[in-house]
Structure 1
């Protein structure tokens, strides 16, 4: 049973390391998201000069607005999806760890 318990402990350690890496990645993604959301505000700058008029001006503004909207979507929805996915994986790993601890406890108490 000692060998089996050792393998369980090693697996728990491995899962804890995975959780730590995922938490680090999640934090980094959050930081990148904040940077992106700050940077995309610059897409709409500078304001077009009053001399910019007509079809080309309208087309430019439309393209700039489209780029802004796409980046805003990426910066909010996509990043939130990434972070949610990571959080779900962390929860799954934590559940697996809890199960392994229960198994380990059972093994150690059955030996008594």
Structure 2
């Protein structure tokens, strides 16, 4: 395999990775939107002293609060971290793609120059 075909195959692979990462990023952003939209479901329905009271009601309310904290951590912190990681990898892949494109152009120029010398 020539160096040029190696570079071309690397470029193709990086572009495929970029497409997959962009699709993943889009999906994660949509999921985060759904999470945020449904956050109120964690504490629904409202429990008031007239609807439910006593030690079980208090324990249940505490569990709901813990669930809400976990839900917020997942929908904000964890998903934000995953999204940022993917965005960083996308930026890195773009840089790699640009570098590969430059290398391919340089290799093609080198090959053309060698062919001209042989003539």
The answer to whether the superposition gives a TM-score over 0.5 is yes
Aligned equivalents of 1:46, 1:110: Cα separation in 2: 71
| SS of residue paired to 1:52 | coil
Q: Structure 1 residues 62-71 or 52-61, which shifts more?
A: 52-61
Aligned equivalents of 2:110, 2:14: Cα separation in 1: 25
Q: Which runs of no fewer than 5 residues in structure 1 stay unpaired?
A: none
Aligned equivalents of 1:86, 1:66: Cα separation in 2: 29
RMSD: 1.6
Look up the match of 1:69: 69
Which is higher, the Rg of structure 1 or of structure 2?
2
Count of equivalent residues:
111
Look up the match of 2:46: 47
Deviation of the 1:51 alpha carbon: 4.1
Q: Structure 1 residues 81-90 or 99-108, which shifts more?
A: 99-108
Look up the match of 1:90: 90
Runs (4+) of structure 1 moved beyond 3 Å? none
| SS of residue paired to 1:46 | coil
Deviations 1:35-73 (A, max 9, x none): 122222111111114142233222211110110111011
TM-score with structure 2 setting the length: 0.84
Aligned equivalents of 1:3, 1:19: Cα separation in 2: 24
Look up the match of 2:78: 78
Look up the match of 2:59: 59
Q: Is 2:1 the partner of 1:24?
A: no
